[in-house]
Amino acid sequence: MRSGEIIQVLTGLGLTNSQARVYLALVYLGSATAKQLSEESNIAKPDIYRIIPTLQKQGMVETLISRPVSFKAIPANQSLSTLLKRKATEQNELCRKTGCLLSELGKSHIKKGPIETIDFAIISGKEAIIQKLKESLLKAQISLCVVTPKSRFSASIGEFANAYRKALKKDVTIRIAAEQHLAHNKALAIVQTLSRDPHFEVKYFTNPPPAIVTIFDSQEAYLTLSATAQLDSTSAIWSNNLGFIALAQAYFENKWNNET
């Protein structure tokens, strides 16, 4: 491993960047004075005297009684194992506290009653958008309508394949209007499999769509704000506003009925 990668691992185990650099320098030198450590790690000598005690408290460094005073790294298999166990303990405690927090928030939600109906909401970030779409798809009972550009088609087919299968088992009608293109082989295989169900159909249109739209049961609609930007850097509008949904549905039907 390169020194940069080693530093990254050490900081992941809980050390600061400076602590990791000093410890790594000490491992390479075997034993060293503060001056030697400063030169090897490129950290100022006064900072060395500040960092060494913190490493000693973590069981990673010992002081050698010599003139001048020098320092030695505790063997890595011992010190790093200690750090890893400490990190695992912290993670377990964090998981426990997160579980308690989720329980408390759930109780708080119940006490306050259902959330007020919201006409519009903005969802940002790839993971949040995908999660929200999957939740809506799992709730769908009647239909799903999608307009998608070629840049998103293959990835979305792979991402939502299992959710599509579950929806089809409920006889949800899935219609996808996609920009004409050559999809990835894996996506094509998924489409071919899903198309065996009469409730699943894909049609293609020629020109790039100005907007990406997803509609569930004519009750919820999503509009991705950019049809060309990467999903990581874009946002989507969710709405249960009937006027907004009617516009989204009309846009979909236009693309669906003017396929190539």
Q: Give pLDDT tens digits for 104-161.
A: 777 665 555 554 567 889 888 888 889 999 999 999 999 999 999 998 999 999 999 9
Work out the mean pLDDT of the chain and round it to a whole number: 88
Q: How far is CA 260 from the centre of its chain?
A: 36
Q: Is residue 100 very low, low, confident or very high in pLDDT (cuts 50, 70, 90)?
A: confident
The CA distance from 124 to 132, in Å, is 11
Delimit the CATH 1.10.10.10 region(s) of the chain: 3-78
Average the pLDDT over 71-76 and give the result: 88
What does the pLDDT read at residue 113?
54
Average the pLDDT over 33-49 and give the result: 93
Q: Is residue 230 very low, low, confident or very high in pLDDT (cuts 50, 70, 90)?
A: low
User: What's the whole-model pTM score?
Assistant: 0.60
What does DSSP assign to residue 197? S
On the question of pLDDT at 65 being above 90, the answer is no
Q: Is residue 227 very low, low, confident or very high in pLDDT (cuts 50, 70, 90)?
A: low
What does the pLDDT read at residue 231?
61
Domain 3-78, CATH: 1.10.10.10
What does the pLDDT read at residue 2?
79
The CA distance from 188 to 191, in Å, is 5
User: Higher confidence at residue 66 or residue 51?
Assistant: 51
The CA distance from 248 to 242, in Å, is 10
State percent of the chain over pLDDT 90: 54
Q: What are the φ/ψ torsions at residue 240 (nearest 5 degrees)?
A: -115, 15
On the question of pLDDT at 189 being above 60, the answer is yes
* Triad 93, 99, 105: Cα angle to 5°: 135
Delimit the CATH 3.30.870.10 region(s) of the chain: 120-257
Average the pLDDT over 84-101 and give the result: 87
On the question of pLDDT at 45 being above 60, the answer is yes
User: Higher confidence at residue 167 or residue 59?
Assistant: 167
State percent of the chain over pLDDT 70: 92
On the question of pLDDT at 18 being above 90, the answer is yes
With 0-12 / 13-18 / 19 or more C-beta atoms within 10 angstroms meaning exposed / middle / buried, residue 159 is: middle
The CA distance from 213 to 227, in Å, is 9
**CATH class of domain segment(s) 120-257:** alpha beta
What tokens does 213 get? 């739209």
CA 116 → CA 112, 119, 120, 134, 149, distances in Å? 10, 10, 12, 22, 34
What does the pLDDT read at residue 111?
54
On the question of pLDDT at 15 being above 80, the answer is yes
What does the pLDDT read at residue 116?
52
Which residues are CB-neighbours of 247 under 8 A, at least 6 positions away? none
In single-letter form, the type of residue at position 191 comes to V
